[in-house]
Structure 1
């Protein structure tokens, strides 16, 4: 029987205190069954994104240990940052990689949510494929108003109460959103202006909720340390909305305001197909096949040899 492997990308509401960041990440280092691929903190967003792969049991143990550390250091009543958030441990998504189906990943997420609440006392909302309510599939619906609004509305409005725990949020750690989803690409485009309205308008042109690309979520944020603004996006299905297509649309819209694209950012891990698709577009490679990449072909041969 093939061993189950999942990806998990927990997001924490801390991107400025290096000692806290390292403490949060420590449970993922040198731990059997858990592979720490990447972790990145952004001061403007005030957010830490950790990319993990591992077997479900080992990941759950490590995440709970890490969450307790985050809970002890992060007070949402004092937290400020550009990225939307409702909790110290803001979101924990699980993605099936091998030996596990999406349906099994949904059960994993829901079971983990109950276990997580018991261990930390932090209420849980389920989203994406693990959502218990249709309107909670979208993360932005759960996060509406962010922590400041949700901490009051969760108590007064039954429609906004957590799926596990509550109705009140944790007094300092808020709530955590847990779910199962496809691979997500966190893709940011930085613009050569300090005019935040430009980034917000362009974000509205590309995101699905306001008539843009059907699998893109986006907001405009200010990068005060860089003296720029950013269109910050999540591409929830990169096979249907290519990076290059989204980028070229942003570039075209930015020209209306006389604003250049200065740089782009990929936050965390990304599937090879998402990068190769854009590379083939910009290089105008005819009939490109990802198996022309020697490393991918070798990995495929190695995988076949292990069967």
Structure 2
């Protein structure tokens, strides 16, 4: 049986179609790899590319895409609403079919070494591929973002796993890259009918697993856990639509599926007098997540009906038309 892994690199360019095409073009050149999705956001100034195929071929495609990103993206000039640390901000590998997590870990570490040594880009390993436990969670590595790299490299705790450890001229342009292995993650954003970023930030703190820091009666900072499990969240303003979003990573959609996250955000927004009319999935989504949502919002029994009900219940076409054939990973890979 064929081994299939997925790779979902995030690049710090969402405005220049020519640069994005040059990066995705490197992926399309590799035999044994299928380009599944290219999704750009102008406000985030970020593009998420999804591709899958044979493990070694996927690793090669990732390397050449990272190399091209380093050529066409200058991080010293980059501005965007989404946190980022480099031209290729993050590059995760996900087991899809007949592949173990350990195999994805080895691919991530091997790619990290090549990117660090051959391209001169500082690399941090995260997720299941992390060598240092404190680097398991992506936002922890991203703290300080690109602008904080110069100081970050001075801290022994944050020396890169591979590549240069100084902020030289090449690193000034490329930034750093985070490479790892993880289970399937759904990048999911809920749209708030307000441009007040403070409301989006407040709701994000309420729902995300890590919660927020508050002062107790003694004036000590204590962490108040969030309402949802296996969820990362932050508030983002979308200038293009003049709205804000609660931008989430659903780290385990079987624990917190999209419809559960959507309904909780809608509930919290309603308590603050804000409407929620829709949401969006960035990249691809497992079919099961949509079937679960379809059952929540309807009494449909057919797969097609359930997927349609999910799209309607979650308002997935509010910003851009939701086309299941282009968004469901099983459909894109021809597995169903």
TM-score by length of 2: 0.83
Contact 1:151/1:174 (8 A) holds in 2? no
- Aligned partner of 1:246 in structure 2 is 261
**Residue deviations 1:161-185, cap 9 Å, x none?**
1111232241210111000100010
- Aligned partner of 1:85 in structure 2 is 84
Contact 1:14/1:47 (8 A) holds in 2? yes
- Aligned partner of 1:281 in structure 2 is 296
Q: How does 1:42-81 map to 2 (within 5 A)?
A: 42-81=41-80
- Aligned partner of 1:223 in structure 2 is 238
Relative to 1, partners in 2 of residues 1:279 and 1:23: Cα closer, same or farther, differing over 3 Å? same
TM-score by length of 1: 0.91
- Aligned partner of 1:120 in structure 2 is 119
**Residue deviations 1:178-216, cap 9 Å, x none?**
001000101001111111101000111111111222200
Relative to 1, partners in 2 of residues 1:200 and 1:118: Cα closer, same or farther, differing over 3 Å? same
Contact 2:26/2:68 (8 A) holds in 1? no
Relative to 1, partners in 2 of residues 1:108 and 1:279: Cα closer, same or farther, differing over 3 Å? same
Runs of at least 4 residues off by over 6 Å:
288-296
Task: Give the distance between the partners of 1:268 and 1:303, measured in 2 at CA.
Answer: 17
Task: Give the distance between the partners of 1:270 and 1:244, measured in 2 at CA.
Answer: 13
Three-state SS of the structure 2 residue aligned to 1:281 is helix
For residue 9 of structure 1, report the CA deviation from its aligned partner. 0.3
Task: Give the distance between the partners of 2:268 and 2:288, measured in 1 at CA.
Answer: 26
For residue 220 of structure 1, report the CA deviation from its aligned partner. 0.1
Contact 1:106/1:130 (8 A) holds in 2? yes
Task: Give the distance between the partners of 1:293 and 1:254, measured in 2 at CA.
Answer: 26
Aligned-pair Cα RMSD in Å: 2.4
Task: Give the distance between the partners of 2:10 and 2:262, measured in 1 at CA.
Answer: 24
**Residue deviations 1:225-265, cap 9 Å, x none?**
11100111110100001111111110011112211113200
- How many residue pairs get aligned? The number is 297
Give the unaligned 5+ runs of structure 2: 212-224, 308-324
Contact 1:183/1:237 (8 A) holds in 2? yes
- Aligned partner of 1:106 in structure 2 is 105
Q: How does 1:102-181 map to 2 (within 5 A)?
A: 102-154=101-153, 156-169=154-167, 170-181=171-182
Three-state SS of the structure 2 residue aligned to 1:171 is helix
For residue 100 of structure 1, report the CA deviation from its aligned partner. 1.6
Contact 2:130/2:136 (8 A) holds in 1? yes
For residue 78 of structure 1, report the CA deviation from its aligned partner. 1.2
Three-state SS of the structure 2 residue aligned to 1:77 is helix
For residue 150 of structure 1, report the CA deviation from its aligned partner. 2.4
